[in-house]
Amino acid sequence: MYKTRAVVNNLVPFMPSVAGREKFASWLQSSSRNFSLNRVRWRSTEVSAEPFLNGNSSTYVEEMYNAWLDDPKSVHKSWDTFFRSTAAGRTPGFAYQSPPVLADAGRNHIPISSVVPFITGGSSLGTPVDEKIIDDHLAVQAIIRSYQARGHLVAELDPLGIMYADLHSKISEKLGADIKEKIDARSFPREVVVRQHSHALGERMFTMCKGKRGKGTELLIKKKKRKKEKIRGHHIAKLDPLGIQSADLDERHPPELLYDHYAFASNRPSTTYSKQLQRKVASMTEQEADMDRVFKLPSTTFIGGKEKALPLREILKRLEQVYCRHIGVEFMFINSLEQCNWIRQRMETPGIMRMSENQKRLILARLTRATGFEAFLARKWSSEKRFGLEGCEILIPAMKQVIDKSTELGVESVVIGMPHRGRLNILANVCRKPLESIFTQFAALEAADDGSGDVKYHLGTYIERLNRVTNKNIRLAVVANPSHLEAVDPVVQGKTRAEQFYRGDGEGKKVMSILLHGDAAFCGQGVVYETFHLSDLPDYTTHGTIHIVVNNQIGFTTDPRHSRSSPYCTDVARVVNAPIFHVNSDDPEAVIHVCNVAAEWRSTFHKDVVIDIVSYRRNGHNEIDEPMFTQPLMYSIIKKTKPVIKQYSEMLVKEGVISEEQVKDVAEKYDKICEEAYTNAKKETHIKYKDWLDSPWSGFFEGKDPSKMSPTGVKEDTLLHIGKRFSSPPPNAAEFVIHKGIERILKARMQMVEERQVDWALAEAMAFGSLLKEGIHVRLSGQDVERGTFSHRHHVLHHQKVDRATYKPLCNLYPDQAPYTVCNSSLSEFAVLGFELGFSMTNPNALVCWEAQFGDFNNTAQCIIDQFISSGQAKWVRQSGLVMLLPHGLEGMGPEHSSARLERFLQMSADDPDYFPPESDEFAIRQLHDINWIVANCSTPSNYFHILRRQIALPFRKPLILMTPKSLLRHPEARSSFDEMNDNTEFLRLIPDNGPAASNPENVRKVIFCSGKVYYDLKKARTDSNLDSDIAILRVEQISPFPFDLIKEKCNKYKNAQLVWAQEEHKNQGSWTYVQPRFNTTLNHSRPIKYVGRPTAASPSTGSKMQHLRELNALLEDAMS
Ligand X SMILES: Cc1ncc(C[n+]2csc(CCOP(=O)(O)OP(=O)(O)O)c2C)c(N)n1
Count the residues in the chain.
1121
Q: Segment near ligand X (CB under 6 A), from 29-37, 369-377, 480-488, 597-605? A: 480-488
Query: Is the CB of 707 or the CB of 860 nearer to ligand X?
Result: 860
Is 560 an interacting residue with respect to ligand X (CB under 6 A)? no
Query: Is the CB of 629 or the CB of 915 nearer to ligand X?
Result: 629
| Cα of 1057 vs its chain's centroid, Å | 56
Least distance CB 377 / ligand X (angstroms): 16
Is 555 an interacting residue with respect to ligand X (CB under 6 A)? yes
Least distance CB 482 / ligand X (angstroms): 8
Is 523 an interacting residue with respect to ligand X (CB under 6 A)? no
Query: Is the CB of 150 or the CB of 517 nearer to ligand X?
Result: 517
Query: Is the CB of 454 or the CB of 911 nearer to ligand X?
Result: 454
Q: Segment near ligand X (CB under 6 A), from 405-413, 445-453, 551-559, 955-963? A: 551-559
The Cα 50–Cα 31 span in angstroms is 11
Q: Using CB under 6 A, which of 150, 190, 318, 421 touches ligand X?
A: 421
Is 398 an interacting residue with respect to ligand X (CB under 6 A)? no
Exposure on the CB side of residue 1079, measured as CA atoms within 13 A: 23
Is 396 an interacting residue with respect to ligand X (CB under 6 A)? no
Is 556 an interacting residue with respect to ligand X (CB under 6 A)? yes
The Cα 906–Cα 904 span in angstroms is 5
R_g of the chain, CA atoms, integer Å: 35
Is 430 an interacting residue with respect to ligand X (CB under 6 A)? no
Query: Is the CB of 519 or the CB of 586 nearer to ligand X?
Result: 519
Q: Which residues pair with 446 in a beta bridge?
A: 686
Is 428 an interacting residue with respect to ligand X (CB under 6 A)? no
Query: Is the CB of 433 or the CB of 617 nearer to ligand X?
Result: 617
| Cα of 136 vs its chain's centroid, Å | 44
Please check whether residue 881 is in contact with residue 779, taking contact to mean a CB–CB distance below 8 angstroms: no
Query: Is the CB of 440 or the CB of 631 nearer to ligand X?
Result: 631
Least distance CB 656 / ligand X (angstroms): 36
Is 620 an interacting residue with respect to ligand X (CB under 6 A)? no
Exposure on the CB side of residue 766, measured as CA atoms within 13 A: 36
Least distance CB 422 / ligand X (angstroms): 8
Q: Using CB under 6 A, which of 374, 519, 694, 856 touches ligand X?
A: 519
Q: Distance between terminal CA atoms of the chain?
A: 75
Q: Segment near ligand X (CB under 6 A), from 30-38, 144-152, 481-489, 648-656? A: 481-489
The Cα 355–Cα 359 span in angstroms is 6
The Cα 900–Cα 897 span in angstroms is 8
Q: Using CB under 6 A, which of 554, 652, 797, 962 touches ligand X?
A: 554
Q: Using CB under 6 A, which of 257, 521, 766, 833 touches ligand X?
A: 521
Measured from the Cβ of residue 358, the count of other Cβ atoms closer than 10 Å reads 9
Pairing of strands 686-687, 797-798: unpaired
The Cα 951–Cα 709 span in angstroms is 10
Where do the H-state alpha helices sit in 826-954? 830-842, 862-863, 872-876, 902-907, 923-930, 941-953
Least distance CB 616 / ligand X (angstroms): 10
Nearest to 391 by CA among 422, 365, 360: 422
Is 417 an interacting residue with respect to ligand X (CB under 6 A)? no
Q: Segment near ligand X (CB under 6 A), from 3-11, 478-486, 672-680, 1086-1094? A: 478-486
SS3 of residue 41 by DSSP: coil
The H or E element containing residue 653 is: helix 644-655
Q: Segment near ligand X (CB under 6 A), from 117-125, 547-555, 783-791, 984-992? A: 547-555
Please check whether residue 523 is in contact with residue 563, taking contact to mean a CB–CB distance below 8 angstroms: yes
Query: Is the CB of 521 or the CB of 594 nearer to ligand X?
Result: 521
Is 572 an interacting residue with respect to ligand X (CB under 6 A)? no
Q: Segment near ligand X (CB under 6 A), from 23-31, 365-373, 519-527, 745-753? A: 519-527
Q: Which residues pair with 807 in a beta bridge?
A: 797
Query: Is the CB of 74 or the CB of 860 nearer to ligand X?
Result: 860
Is 484 an interacting residue with respect to ligand X (CB under 6 A)? yes
Query: Is the CB of 299 or the CB of 859 nearer to ligand X?
Result: 859
The Cα 1007–Cα 1030 span in angstroms is 9
Please check whether residue 803 is in contact with residue 756, taking contact to mean a CB–CB distance below 8 angstroms: no
Evaluated on CA atoms 808, 810, 813, 818, the torsion sign reads: negative
Is 163 an interacting residue with respect to ligand X (CB under 6 A)? no
Please check whether residue 408 is in contact with residue 482, taking contact to mean a CB–CB distance below 8 angstroms: no
Question: Which residue's Cβ has the minimum distance to ligand X?
Answer: 518
Q: Using CB under 6 A, which of 266, 483, 710, 751 touches ligand X?
A: 483
Query: Is the CB of 51 or the CB of 555 nearer to ligand X?
Result: 555
Query: Is the CB of 554 or the CB of 762 nearer to ligand X?
Result: 554
Pairing of strands 309-311, 294-296: antiparallel
**CA 1043-1047-1049 angle, 5° bins:** 120
Where do the H-state alpha helices sit in 581-631? 588-605
Region at 804 (left for phi over 0; alpha for psi -120 to 50; beta for the rest) = left
Q: Is 600 exposed, middle or buried (0-12, 13-18, 19+ CB in 10 A)?
A: middle
Q: Segment near ligand X (CB under 6 A), from 552-560, 603-611, 759-767, 1004-1012? A: 552-560
Q: Segment near ligand X (CB under 6 A), from 518-526, 601-609, 771-779, 1017-1025? A: 518-526
Is 518 an interacting residue with respect to ligand X (CB under 6 A)? yes
Q: Segment near ligand X (CB under 6 A), from 477-485, 952-960, 1036-1044, 1092-1100? A: 477-485
Q: Segment near ligand X (CB under 6 A), from 512-520, 755-763, 790-798, 974-982? A: 512-520
The Cα 1058–Cα 1006 span in angstroms is 5
Which segments of 605-654 are extended strands (E)?
A: 609-614
Query: Is the CB of 518 or the CB of 844 nearer to ligand X?
Result: 518
Is 480 an interacting residue with respect to ligand X (CB under 6 A)? no
Is 455 an interacting residue with respect to ligand X (CB under 6 A)? no
Listing DSSP states for 126-177 in one string gives TPPPPHHHHHHHHHHHHHHHHHHHHGGGGS---TTS-SS--TTSPPPTT--H
Is 529 an interacting residue with respect to ligand X (CB under 6 A)? no
Is 1063 an interacting residue with respect to ligand X (CB under 6 A)? no
Least distance CB 162 / ligand X (angstroms): 15
Measured from the Cβ of residue 693, the count of other Cβ atoms closer than 10 Å reads 19
Query: Is the CB of 327 or the CB of 554 nearer to ligand X?
Result: 554
Q: Using CB under 6 A, which of 154, 347, 550, 908 touches ligand X?
A: 550
The Cα 1035–Cα 998 span in angstroms is 13
Is 490 an interacting residue with respect to ligand X (CB under 6 A)? no
Q: Using CB under 6 A, which of 312, 485, 633, 1039 touches ligand X?
A: 485
SS3 of residue 62 by DSSP: helix
Longest CA–CA separation in the chain, Å: 114
How many residues bind ligand X (CB under 6 A)? The answer is 15
Is 1064 an interacting residue with respect to ligand X (CB under 6 A)? no
Phi and psi of 1005, rounded to 5°? Answer: -95, -15
Is 788 an interacting residue with respect to ligand X (CB under 6 A)? no
Query: Is the CB of 60 or the CB of 529 nearer to ligand X?
Result: 529
DSSP state of 300: T
Can you give the binding site for ligand X, defined by CB under 6 A? Answer: 421, 483-485, 518-521, 550, 552, 554-556, 617, 621
